């Protein structure tokens, strides 16, 4: 079986892969995440996921029997990508934009073994209730929004803002588990490793 490498520093993606019983090793694969001119959000996250997987593979001295997973998530409102907030003012502005609105969370996951690469895109709709200025300011002080796309974490304190969601919860967190499991299986990497059927 191939060794799986995760080209991501996200603790959330590490937790999600662990949740489905897939062992992996961590790779550092920084890439340029600048949005290209006229690039759509869907094209952007898929390009970055593939680029992270390729960059991770390039760091391995012996990439044989290695599969690298790259992923990228973007919060999108009216076609505009809301990245990680630069500072408090940026985070508060993002939360104001998302307040009482529905937005999309696009997550792409890519796998590459050097011979082939595959990517899939999952789009989820998330609806926020109205967020007051005081709530947004208090949320910033928690520290949670600082490194999150769109300035919030659905699995954290920001769960209280969400009044509806259609799509994949795990994709909004950072890794669509159903689709990731399907991709892993295509590369010969099963989920639930370490478990075996017990004989009666």
- Residue 78 a catalytic site member: no
Q: Who's near 113: CB < 8 A, 6+ residues apart?
A: 2, 57, 63, 66, 67, 68, 187
Q: Which residue is catalytic, options 32, 72, 87, 113? A: 72
Instruction: Enumerate the active-site residues.
Output: 72
């Amino acid at each position: 079986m191939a060794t799986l490498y995760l080209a991501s520093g996200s603790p959330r993606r590490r937790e999600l892969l662990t949740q489905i019983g897939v062992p992996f090793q961590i790779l550092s694969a920084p890439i340029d995440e600048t949005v290209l001119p006229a690039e759509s959000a869907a094209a952007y996250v898929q390009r970055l996921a593939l680029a992270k997987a390729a960059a991770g593979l390039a760091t391995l001295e012996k990439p044989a029997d290695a599969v690298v997973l790259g992923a990228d998530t973007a919060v999108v409102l009216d076609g505009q990508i809301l990245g990680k907030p630069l500072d408090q003012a940026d985070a508060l502005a993002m939360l104001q934009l998302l307040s009482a609105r529905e937005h999309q969370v696009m997550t792409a996951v890519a796998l590459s073994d050097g011979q082939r690469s595959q990517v899939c895109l999952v789009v989820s709709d998330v609806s926020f209730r109205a967020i007051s200025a005081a709530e947004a300011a208090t949320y910033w002080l928690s520290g949670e929004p600082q490194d999150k796309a769109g300035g919030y974490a659905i699995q954290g304190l920001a769960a209280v803002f969400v009044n509806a969601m259609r799509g994949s919860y795990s994709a909004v967190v950072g890794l669509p588990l159903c689709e990731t499991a399907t991709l892993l299986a295509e590369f010969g990497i099963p989920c639930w490793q370490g478990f075996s059927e017990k004989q009666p």
